[in-house]
Amino acid sequence: MKNGWLPLKIKIRNFAALTIPANMRIGLFFFFLIFLLGCSQKPQPIADARLNDYALYDEKGNFHRFSYYNDSKGIVLFVQGNGCPIVRAAREDFQEIVDEFSKKGFTFFMINSNIQDTRESIQKETEAYPFPVPVLVDNAQVVANMLDITITAEVFILHPTTREILYRGPINNKFDYETQKSKSGEEYVKEALSQILNNKPPISKKQQTRGCKVTRWQEIEKQPITYTGEIGTIVTEHCAICHHEGGIGPWSMNDYNTLLGWSAMMKQVLLTQRMPPWKADPKVGHFKKSFALSNEDRRKIITWIDEGMPYGEGVDPLSLLEFTDHEWKGGAPDKIITLQKEEIPANGTIPYRYQTIRVSLEEDTWIKGIEIKPSNPKVMHHILITNKESNKQSPIISRPPRKWIDNFIALGAMGSQYIGYPDGSGVFFPKNAELIVQIHYAPTGKPEEDETQIGLYFSDQVPEKEFLSLAPANTTFEIPPFGKEVKIVAEDSIEKDILLHYVVPHMHYRGKSIKFKVQFPNGETKTVVSVADYNFNWQQLYQLEEALPIPKSSKIIVEGIFDNTYQNPFNPDPNKTVHFGLQSTDEMLIGFFNYTLQ
């Protein structure tokens, strides 16, 4: 082996002296360059138990889950507070640290845990005193309770995967109350970050922080939080609607003792904002049937758990609940269509199932509503129903129609769902209408069956308006391997005045966030729905509380951000270049919506 390698070493060592034509030398140079680049290390999965995986909106409505940054050297938080003179004065020092150490692999945020500061007021503060990084909004103090935040201008450095505190203390020794030095003598945060880069434990300086005190909810709330007093009502209205016998939740909230056993898990999913799965930004739009949990209620449940889950007095509120999943939510339908039974395997990726159903009606009929009722709601991810007769040119756009996307009749998800159309509107069904049904199932760990029923509700008369649908989509995009924050846009120009009623933003596993916007003819843009923490498993039909008038010459714009990295736990394969496709392992960017003509 030695004798075999020796001549090669000699040749490479004397490469420049060899008599080789110039074009061949250039070719060899690029060969070795490509070889070396090919050997460069690709991103690898990072072990992360996703505990203490805090999740917060920033002042601009973007959503940040800390595990998304677990490929950092560390997560740095600078405690901000509106009106705090020390925070304002320390901006340039913090900016200097961000500029130097973000290049070395650290991720930076500011965090505001003041109970008096809102997302809107923080945004005004950032406009007056520009900050170098996003400000995480924690006015419910969920993260403040975990990190024991008590003062502004303090810096926390968290471990990227465990989120444990590696350092806490001031930026430096430059600032004090009503005074500051012209130059700092000690650079605490810079030293701490350098220590971490050198695999050495940094020294915390907690006692030396100067800033503005942060009033904590626990200091001003004197009444104990009890199960029968407040918590029972919260979980009844926001949690038990899914977590009950026959519901889509994996376990049932039967009584106090059940919550006691699941309390550690409840706290974890509330800290990470994984539950409840209402994903629309609460600051954008108003929707019917919302089960979103407010930050205040999230804090109350976590505080109640931390304080030992006191019961209180009286009857267990969960024991009084009765659910009627087996009944039709819209009342008895005028016609029931039963789909063929589907068998679902225990595990794996399940391709979409398709069924074609002939609807035999006595005469042409208008319907005023439709209900989708799976026999096994735990396995149904979503169902899309289209009518062959409705696959025609849309009256509000010029482009050719996209079959089975632009002209859907109903799109349901998350169990049984009744979709009633706005008053005075309806969908036309010829007497021999043919339905195309697309169903996406999700495995549960054991073989399952489902036999979905579709209920049709007839209109007594011809409605004033037809209830129509459209779906701007982008079908020509490309998401590169390991692509992070890849922005893709779809849009349609509207040629008639319409009223917007329902919206369903749709992506697949690599979807990170999605916005459905309207750009009016005067250039003004309105965000109708913002799903900053998109999750393919939890898709909603967002019904606007009030229909939105959209004049002709407006644009419907759908903006999607895709994450094709290992930091996305849903990602099937970050090594893959991703294009548009029907299966979940492909990608989509679609903004389904329902409207009526004005």
Q: Which helix (H) or strand (E) holds 582?
A: none
Confidence (pLDDT) at 113: 98
* The predicted structure's pLDDT at residue 553: 98
Mind listing the pLDDT tens digit for each residue in 440-458? 888 889 999 999 999 999 9
Tokens of 178: 């009503």
The mean pLDDT of 224-236, rounded to a whole number, is 96
* SS3 readout for 433-444: CEEEEEEEECCC
CA torsion 260→265→269→275, rounded to 10°? -60
Could you tell me the CA-to-CA distances from 276 to 103, 139, 271 in Å, in that order? 36, 19, 11
Question: Residue 201 is encoded by which pair of tokens?
Answer: 């434990």
Q: For 429, list phi and psi in degrees, rounded to 5.
A: -120, 110
Rg of the chain over Cα atoms, rounded to whole angstroms, equals 29
Non-local CB neighbours of 155 within 8 Å, separated by 6+ positions? 76, 77, 78, 79, 167, 168, 169, 170, 171, 188, 189
Q: Decide if pLDDT at 1 tops 90.
A: no
**What confidence category does residue 27 fall into, taking pLDDT thresholds of 50, 70 and 90?**
low
Query: Residue 94 pLDDT more than 80?
Result: yes
Q: pLDDT at residue 271 above 70? A: yes
What pLDDT is attached to residue 33? 47
Note the pLDDT of residue 24. Answer: 57
Query: What is the chain's mean pLDDT, rounded?
Result: 91
Question: Are residues 339 and 452 in contact, defined by beta-carbon separation less than 8 angstroms?
Answer: yes
DSSP assignments along 465-508, one per residue: EE-EEE--B--S--B-TT--SEEEEEEEE--S-EEEEEEEEE--
Say which amino acid occupies 117: D
pLDDT band, very low/low/confident/very high, at 29 (cuts 50, 70, 90): low
Question: According to DSSP H, which parts of 39-161 are helical?
Answer: 85-89, 91-101, 119-128, 142-147
* Mean local confidence (pLDDT), 199-204: 96
Q: How confident is the model at residue 303 (pLDDT cuts 50, 70, 90)?
A: very high
Please give the angle made by the CA atoms of 473, 510 and 487, to the nearest 5 degrees: 55
**Residue 540 and residue 415: Cα distance in Å, rounded?**
11
Instruction: Please spell the DSSP secondary structure of 90-124, one letter per residue.
Output: THHHHHHHHHHHTTTTEEEEEEE--TT--HHHHHH
Model pLDDT, residue 34: 47
pTM of the full structure: 0.89
Residue 20 has pLDDT above 60, yes or no: no
More confident residue, 544 or 387: 544
Region 21-25: mean pLDDT is 57
Q: What is the SS3 assignment for 259-291? A: HHHHHHHHHHHHHCCCCCCCCCCCCCCCECCCC
CB contact at 8 A, 75 and 297: no
**pLDDT tier, 40 (very low <50, low <70, confident <90, very high otherwise):** low
pLDDT at 383 over 50: yes
Confidence (pLDDT) at 174: 95
Specify the DSSP class assigned to residue 69. Answer: G
Instruction: Tell how far CA 499 is from the center of its chain.
Output: 27
Q: Give the mean pLDDT of 410-424.
A: 86
Interior angle at CA 440, CA 438 and CA 446, nearest 5: 140
